Structure 1
Amino acid sequence: MKPGLRLRVPLPVGNNITPAAATGAKTNNISRLHQTLSLPDGRRLGYAEYGSPTGYPILYFHGFPSSRLEGWAVDGMARRRGLRVIAPDRPGYGLSTFQKQRRITDWPADVKSLVDHLRIPRFAVLGGSGGGPYAVACAYALPYEMLSAVGILAGAGPWAAGMRYVSRTRRMLSCAATNSPAALRVFVDGVVGASRWCATSGPVTKWLDAWLEKQESRDETTLSTEEERERLLKTLFEAFAQGAGASVQEAVLLSHDWGFRFEDVPYNRIQIWHGEKDANSPVEMTRYLAARLPHCSLREFAGETHYTLIKHLEEILGELVTEEMIQQHSALST
């Protein structure tokens, strides 16, 4: 990063991180999965932690619609690699208070409050799927000194790339969320309620159990199939713990301008990993983004989809946070 660039979210003066009390943050540590802090404006921010409690810090931004519990997928590999993964709920999801009229560019301030509270001076960020735009927003707004790495995993692409890349279903969702948000909230709440009932029925639980037993990730889990199923369903429904408001709001945010020019993002460099066969977020939209970010590398995975890219997750984590970075962190921590 060139000296003299304007820092949009200021660092605390000096080398010390602002204590939680100084930022108006209070914590309620029920467990690593259900933690909250009170933000300066009175909102609550929920977050979960995975991996090694003393490992290299990565903030993981969940997909759409989802929650902090999505981070379960990286827990085992984060422990092996010596990573501390912190996954916050965006406003309205999980434990975090809904924020009216929020923007993608509001997110970096919440992130700064979280890392100040946790006394983390420098960290990496990884945005998965719908969390991708929020990783770019952090690269745009947070001081360079705070970010050790910025990554996007199968990220949602900007619609400015062209409507021809956006499915009809997604266009209809965006239209409904923009023009009739109240009606869409009622509809989604009804669908989620029906899905909760169906998910506990015999045929569905049998199907889920059979599907889970075929997953490669089961090789490293100590959970029973029933426990795995319960964890999966909890992850899916946690996004709607407060209703559909957050998902309807975010359907608008992700389908409109992100609030800044990609060419103005100063961070060097943003890493992107994307499957060439991704139907949820077509790679053409990600190429559009990568071509406009001044400092960006895009790695495309032939034959991989939005969901099969997870097979490469441990490799991707190794590229985001290198062994050298982990060793340096360990040396400073001892």
Structure 2
Amino acid sequence: MFCGRRLSLVVRRPCHQTVSYASDVGGRENQRMQLPDGRTLGFAEHGRSDDYPLIFMHGFPSSRLETLGIDEIALRQRIRVITPDRNGFGLTTFDPKRTILQWPHDIQALGQHLGLSRFAILGGSGGGPFALACAYRLPPDMLSAVGIMAGAGPWEAGTYYMTSLYRACAKMAHRWPSSYAALLQSLVWTLKKVLFSPFGARQIDKLLAKTEAAQGSEETAAVLRENLSRQLLEAFRQGPKPALHETRLLTSYWGINFEDVTYDEIKIWHGTNDINAPIQMIRYMAERLPHCHLNELPGDTHFTLQRHLESILAELVHGSPPANKYE
């Protein structure tokens, strides 16, 4: 899934020359910048460069390519969507010692690189804790809004409602990391075989054609499959170790004391039928954040929440959603 403002933006001249900066409208998907510590940060952009900036934190495991296909929404809502690769995913240098709380430093550097003094943030799925870290660590006047969409839940809330599969994966990542990395590698290999085989491609196209996004069009389903393939492969461009590392981060204490997050306010959108991140874990977090508004969407799952993306972006950036809010 992929997955936020109304206040004026002060733009400074960029600090560095951006690599692979293509046309003003459309995806600029393979950009790089050098971080202050010498690491490379990869990122993509969608929408017009003079529209309001929103930095999106992709899910897990994923990359900057998660926002492929968001251009029409970005143009309609006049939002410049900027999606950076996290540690070790896509084009970003892997550092096995990076933590969730160090991510805000990269976001601040990215904002300076692009000449942004103020921007909105939206974290989707596994990107939710990283968006929360930005609310916790970045200067409040730098952030015009902070949102979390179908975000990962804190494991300190208890994993009673989490599926046994996810509990097993977390246990494996912590106790037998080499085996977990090998499992990830084998899953990627299997998915590649399926995605690029004629039979597998046909079956996936049939499934995608049934979705609301595909609208029954085989051509659209093929495009979605191609985007899905690119996203999966890009997430594992540097092998399974970055995904192993982030699994361990997400299923441990994030380093964030929820009661100490003073940013006002954090907006959360979450489906009540989400089994990837059970709503009970999200309620636990929302109850402890001093300034938080939890929007529970009845019946939505981790993946169907995506159909509300445009409404969520509009509310986050512009302060109010379209008339057909969350229908």
Say whether the fold is shared (TM-score over 0.5): yes
Unpaired segments of 5 or more residues in structure 2? 1-9, 23-27, 321-327
* Alignment match, 1:283: 279
Per the alignment, do residues 222 and 314 of structure 1 end up closer, same or farther by CA in structure 2, a change over 3 Å counting? farther
Corresponding residue to 2:19 among 15, 28, 48: 28
Deviations 1:227-274 (A, max 9, x none): 332122111221111111111101110011111200000100000000
* One-letter amino acid of the structure 1 residue matched with residue 287 of structure 2: A
Corresponding residue to 2:288 among 292, 300, 304: 292
CA distance in 1, matches of 2:293, 2:271: 14
Stretch deviating more after TM superposition (46-55 or 82-91): 46-55
* One-letter amino acid of the structure 1 residue matched with residue 280 of structure 2: E
Corresponding residue to 1:217 among 213, 218, 221: 213
**Superposition CA RMSD, Å:** 2.2
Task: Tell me if structure 2 keeps the 8 A contact 1:274–1:300.
Answer: yes
Corresponding residue to 2:259 among 258, 263, 271: 263
Task: Tell me if structure 2 keeps the 8 A contact 1:125–1:151.
Answer: yes
Deviations 1:134-183 (A, max 9, x none): 11000000001100000000000101111212222112211221122223
1:16 shift after superposition: 8.2
Per the alignment, do residues 278 and 323 of structure 1 end up closer, same or farther by CA in structure 2, a change over 3 Å counting? closer
Corresponding residue to 1:303 among 288, 296, 299: 299
* Alignment match, 2:25: none
Count of matched residue pairs: 307
Unpaired segments of 5 or more residues in structure 1? 1-14, 325-334
Task: Tell me if structure 2 keeps the 8 A contact 1:49–1:85.
Answer: yes
Task: Tell me if structure 2 keeps the 8 A contact 1:27–1:38.
Answer: no
* One-letter amino acid of the structure 1 residue matched with residue 200 of structure 2: V
* One-letter amino acid of the structure 1 residue matched with residue 15 of structure 2: A
Corresponding residue to 1:169 among 160, 165, 168: 165
Per the alignment, do residues 223 and 33 of structure 1 end up closer, same or farther by CA in structure 2, a change over 3 Å counting? farther
* Alignment match, 1:329: none
Task: Tell me if structure 1 keeps the 8 A contact 2:205–2:218.
Answer: no
* Alignment match, 2:110: 114
Report SS of the residue matched to 1:86: strand
Report SS of the residue matched to 2:68: helix
Corresponding residue to 2:176 among 176, 180, 185: 180
1:20 shift after superposition: 2.0
CA distance in 2, matches of 1:53, 1:18: 13
Residue 75 (structure 1) aligned with residue 75 (structure 2): no
CA distance in 1, matches of 2:49, 2:213: 22
* Alignment match, 1:229: 225
Per the alignment, do residues 213 and 167 of structure 1 end up closer, same or farther by CA in structure 2, a change over 3 Å counting? closer
CA distance in 2, matches of 1:213, 1:72: 18
1:120 shift after superposition: 0.7
Q: TM-score, normalised on structure 1?
A: 0.87
* One-letter amino acid of the structure 2 residue matched with residue 286 of structure 1: I
CA distance in 2, matches of 1:50, 1:216: 22
Q: Percent identity?
A: 46
